[in-house]
Amino acid sequence: AQSVTQLDSHVSVSEGTPVLLRCNYSSSYSPSLFWYVQHPNKGLQLLLKYTSAATLVKGINGFEAEFKKSETSFHLTKPSAHMSDAAEYFCVVSGNTDKLIFGTGTRLQVFP
């Protein structure tokens, strides 16, 4: 069985400071891991995905995530937050099917 735990429901940062959104996963299989972002009243947009290639994954808009098997973590980072990054972020795992298991989400607030 697969599951994800997003460790923070809300994260607040100032514009220009680093962003860290934490995610731990559990999977019986070698997992595929994703980060999706959802802006208000919008659908989900893929930021990045890990599928057992390089452990450091670069995504869109300057985001990246590192897969750490020993820690079962897949934290999302960005060196410098922008006001437009304010949104809800979902860590997602899939096993060997097309069924995605979503975390509960982390709401990122960015203050000027």
Partner 1 sequence: KAGVTQTPRYLIKTRGQQVTLSCSPISGHRSVSWYQQTPGQGLQFLFEYFSETQRNKGNFPGRFSGRQFSNSRSEMNVSTLELGDSALYLCASSRGDWTDTQYFGPGTRLTVL
Q: Which of 19, 25, 34, 57 binds partner 1 (CB under 8 A)?
A: 34
As a residue count, the chain comes to 112
Q: How far apart are CA 42 and CA 28, in angstroms?
A: 32
| 46 lines the binding site for partner 1 (CB under 8 A) | yes
| Minimum separation from the CB atom of position 15 to partner 1 (A) | 27
Q: How far apart are CA 93 and CA 90, in angstroms?
A: 10
Q: How far apart are CA 57 and CA 39, in angstroms?
A: 22
| 35 lines the binding site for partner 1 (CB under 8 A) | no
| Minimum separation from the CB atom of position 52 to partner 1 (A) | 9
Nearer to partner 1, 28 or 98 (CB): 98
The residue range among 7-15, 68-76, 77-85, 103-111 that interacts with partner 1, by the rule CB under 8 A, is: 103-111
Q: How far apart are CA 86 and CA 53, in angstroms?
A: 29
Nearer to partner 1, 43 or 112 (CB): 43
3-state secondary structure 26-39: ECCCCCEEEEEEEC
> Integer distance in angstroms from the first to the last C-alpha of the chain?
41
Binding site for partner 1 (CB under 8 A): 32, 34, 36, 42-46, 49, 51, 90, 94-105
